[in-house]
């Protein structure tokens, strides 16, 4: 699937969940310097308080999206799907799944990947943390180390670029507002547990 066709696919997923006006806004968005600064600060703040735990991509992405909605006037969507690294499946299996059922819980048990889209920009707050952790898949850890090096916190790129770096984000589902809110509740619980530990 080409990157152009893929972004059209994301637009259709956005439309299915949020309507055609949201999809149009999604496709028209261009990131400004002000938005970049807000995104960077929001991600830094979240990474400081969110504990390093495995399998937290959905919770971290929801928390980031909620934070961004407070400081940016941009089309922000949380997306679930498959992450492929150099042709190998790392998270997810490309099989269809029932999004409303999987994400009806605040802490879903699901083996795919979740990231944020701001217009046509991929925003992944969990990929580096997962790759650098002991629990991260070896294939992902090696690729991130060779491609990006150590000590990275947030991956942001235009839709076409990840594939040039050996990363393939394959979207299958866009979250509803209620699902993001539910996941944010799970993220808040994890953050509070870490504070009291």
Per-residue confidence band for 17, with pLDDT thresholds at 50, 70 and 90: confident
Q: What CA dihedral angle connects 196, 103, 29 and 89, to 10 degrees? A: 100
pLDDT > 90? residue 55: no
Residues 6+ apart with CB under 8 A from 5: none
Q: What CA dihedral angle connects 69, 48, 108 and 140, to 10 degrees? A: 110
Structural domain total, the chain: 1
pLDDT in tens, 159-174: 989 999 999 999 999 9
Q: Strand (E) positions, 54-197?
A: 76-85, 88-91, 113-118, 121-124, 155-158, 167-174
pLDDT in tens, 135-160: 889 999 999 999 999 999 999 999 98
Q: What is the mean pLDDT of residues 62-89?
A: 95
Range of the domain at 126: 3-196
Provide the percentage of residues in the chain whose pLDDT is more than 70. Answer: 96
pLDDT > 80? residue 48: yes
Q: Name which residue leads in pLDDT, 13 or 125.
A: 125
- Residue 65 exposure: Cα atoms within 13 Å on the Cβ side: 32
Per-residue confidence band for 72, with pLDDT thresholds at 50, 70 and 90: very high
Question: What is the distance between the alpha carbons of residues 48 and 188, in angstroms, rounded to a whole number?
Answer: 13
Per-residue confidence band for 5, with pLDDT thresholds at 50, 70 and 90: low
Q: Provide the pLDDT for residue 3.
A: 53
Q: Provide the pLDDT for residue 1.
A: 46
Q: What is the mean pLDDT of residues 52-66?
A: 92
- 8 Å CB contact between 129 and 84: no
Q: Provide the pLDDT for residue 167.
A: 95
In the predicted model, what is the mean pLDDT of the chain? 90
pLDDT in tens, 18-36: 888 888 888 889 999 999 9
Residues 6+ apart with CB under 8 A from 19: none
Per-residue confidence band for 2, with pLDDT thresholds at 50, 70 and 90: very low
């Amino acid at each position: 699937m080409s990157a152009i066709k893929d972004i059209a696919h994301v637009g259709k997923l956005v439309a299915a969940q949020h309507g055609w006006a949201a999809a149009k806004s999604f496709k028209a968005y261009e990131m400004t310097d002000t938005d970049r600064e807000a995104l960077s600060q929001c991600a830094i703040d979240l990474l400081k308080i969110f504990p390093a735990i495995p399998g937290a991509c959905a919770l971290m992405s929801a928390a980031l999206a909620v934070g961004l909605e407070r400081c940016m006037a941009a089309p922000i969507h949380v997306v679930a799907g498959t992450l492929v690294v150099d042709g190998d499946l790392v998270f997810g299996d490309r099989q269809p799944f029932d999004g409303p059922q999987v994400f009806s819980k605040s802490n879903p048990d699901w083996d795919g990947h979740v990231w944020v889209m701001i217009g046509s920009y991929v925003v992944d707050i969990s990929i580096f943390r997962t790759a650098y952790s002991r629990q991260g898949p070896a294939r992902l850890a090696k690729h991130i180390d060779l491609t990006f090096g150590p000590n990275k916190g947030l991956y942001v790129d235009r839709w076409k670029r990840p594939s040039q770096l050996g990363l393939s984000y394959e979207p299958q589902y866009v979250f509803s507002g209620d699902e993001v809110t539910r996941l944010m509740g799970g993220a808040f619980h994890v953050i509070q547990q870490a504070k009291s530990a």
